[in-house]
Amino acid sequence: MRTIWALLATACVLSVLVGIGQNKVAGQEAGTAPPAVQETRPAHGRAERELQRMSARLNLTEEQKAKILPILQERNKQLDDLRANSSLPQGEARAKATEIRKSARQQIEQILTPEQREMEKAMRRGTRPKGTAQSGQAPQSQ
C-alpha cells in the first residue's frame, strides 16, 4: 500500500514539473496567461489583406501598392498601440483613432488617381461613382 502512495506522489510531482517545463519552453512564466491573440497577429498581415481588397476594387498599380502598404502597416500599428494604451479615456482614444484613420486615408488619396479617388470615396459612402454602372443593377437614385 505504501508503494502505491509513493508511486502516486511521484507521478503528481512529475506531471507538475512537466507542465512548468512546457511553459518555460513556450517562453512563459508558470502561472501567467498566454499572450493575447491580437499581439501575436502581425499588423502587416492585416494591411496586406486590406491592400489586396483595395487593389481589387480600385485596380491599383504595383507602384501604388508599394506606396500604400507601409501607410496601412503604420496605421494598424498605431491603432494597435492605441488599443493597448488603456490609460486614455474612451472619448480621447476614439478621437485619436479617428485622427489616425483620417491621416492614413489622406496619405493614400494622394497616391490614387482622380478616378480612383472618386471610386474610393463612393465606396466609403456606399454608392457607385458617377458614370459607372455595374451589370445587372439598376442605377441608384439620390
**With contact defined as beta carbons under 8 Å apart, do 72 and 51 qualify?**
yes
- pLDDT value of residue 118: 92
CA distance 101 to 140: 28
**With contact defined as beta carbons under 8 Å apart, do 94 and 85 qualify?**
no
Residue 32 domain-assigned (yes or no): no
CA distance 63 to 140: 33
Residue 23 domain-assigned (yes or no): no
What DSSP character marks residue 112?
A: S
Residue 33 domain-assigned (yes or no): no
Residue 26 domain-assigned (yes or no): no
Residue 50 domain-assigned (yes or no): yes
Residue 7 domain-assigned (yes or no): no
pTM of the model: 0.58
- pLDDT value of residue 59: 92
Helix (H) or strand (E) holding 120: helix 114-125
CA distance 121 to 96: 22
Per-residue pLDDT tens listing for the chain (142 residues): 777 777 667 776 666 666 666 655 555 444 444 444 444 455 568 999 999 999 999 999 999 999 999 999 999 999 999 999 878 888 899 999 999 999 999 999 999 999 999 998 888 888 766 655 544 444 444 3
- pLDDT value of residue 117: 92
Domain count, the chain: 1
The contacts of residue 131 (CB under 8 Å, 6+ apart) are none
- Domain interval for residue 53: 40-125
Residue 131 domain-assigned (yes or no): no
Residue 140 domain-assigned (yes or no): no
